């Protein structure tokens, strides 16, 4: 039987209340890690769906505990330097170290660039790009001092192409790839790796909401899930509509493991074949 890959390690996961973040946290725990689970636990007024709640964050912590591992719960706004510093400090105080960081917190929304308000643009950049920067900045000094660390940031397959109606999201996700590659060069000599995962659509509240369904079916009188599934499936060479959060966790855990110790500055698509149509 294969030994769990994260026995004795500590991970910090942002956006952990549900969806991909919850999946990553629970999977890390199942493979031996104690986990600092972080989430805003509140809505943002420019996001067209409800965000994870404090109760859902605590449920994630309970699921970590069910794996026999410790969980530290931190309500944390990734836009806030103070919140992230406090989460890292608390994690170090209670668990003693941070070996793995999954910078996963993110939001989505729909608007043409011409019609986009300043607030819609700014909140997207603040959460999806600046939030990743602040997460990495908060933990890198600790990892460098220990000469060990595994960082994985969530970008997107649209971080390598243009896409109408989500230009703010696309811009932020392109930025995450540049941030990851730059930090990877800065910390490589200290035993710290930095990589990104690039999912396509994932079955979560981020896409399962009226705003995104209408993006694909703008003229429908009634939104039927069968039609939504067909619309998403038509995008993908692998003919399924979307990933499960666990599909992304498979890639995250690989990049966070010592199996990937010589992989850094990379951007790994988990994209149902979208990337096959893109330039290398």
Catalytic residues: 169
* Matching residue, tokens 């170290």: 97
CA-closest candidate to residue 202, choices 266, 252, 136, 127: 252
User: What does each C-alpha distance from 275 to 21, 72, 75, 254 come to in angstroms?
Assistant: 23, 36, 35, 19
Q: Report the C-alpha gap between 30 and 72 in whole angstroms.
A: 16
In degrees and rounded to multiples of 5, residue 119 shows phi and psi of -65, -40
Question: Parallel, antiparallel, or unpaired: how do β-strands 100-103 and 71-75 relate?
Answer: unpaired
CB of 155 closer than 8 Å to CB of 177: yes
């Amino acid at each position: 039987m294969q030994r769990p890959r994260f026995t004795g390690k500590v991970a910090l996961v942002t956006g952990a209340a549900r969806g991909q973040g919850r999946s990553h946290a629970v999977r890390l725990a199942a493979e031996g890690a104690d986990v600092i689970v972080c989430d805003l636990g509140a809505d943002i007024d420019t996001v067209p769906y409800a965000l994870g709640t404090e109760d859902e964050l605590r449920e994630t912590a309970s699921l970590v505990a069910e794996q026999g591992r410790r969980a530290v719960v931190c309500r944390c706004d990734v836009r806030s330097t103070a919140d992230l510093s406090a989460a890292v400090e608390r994690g170090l105080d209670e668990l003693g170290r941070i070996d793995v960081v999954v910078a996963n917190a993110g939001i989505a929304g729909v608007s043409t660039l011409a019609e986009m308000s300043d607030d819609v643009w700014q909140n997207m950049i603040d959460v999806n790009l600046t939030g990743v920067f602040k997460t990495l900045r908060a933990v890198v000094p600790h990892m460098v001092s220990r000469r060990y660390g595994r960082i994985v940031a969530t970008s997107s397959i649209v971080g390598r192409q243009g896409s109408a109606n989500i230009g703010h999201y696309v811009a932020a996700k392109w930025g995450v790839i540049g941030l990851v590659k730059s930090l990877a060069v800065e910390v490589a000599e200290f035993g710290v790796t930095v990589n990104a995962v690039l999912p396509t659509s994932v079955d979560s509240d981020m896409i399962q909401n009226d705003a995104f369904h209408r993006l694909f079916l703008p003229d429908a009188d009634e939104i039927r899930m069968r039609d939504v599934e067909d619309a998403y499936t038509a995008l993908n060479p692998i003919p399924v509509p979307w990933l499960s959060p666990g599909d992304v966790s498979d890639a995250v855990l690989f990049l966070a493991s010592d199996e990937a110790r010589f992989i850094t500055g990379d951007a790994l698509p988990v994209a149902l074949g979208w990337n096959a149509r893109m330039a290398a």
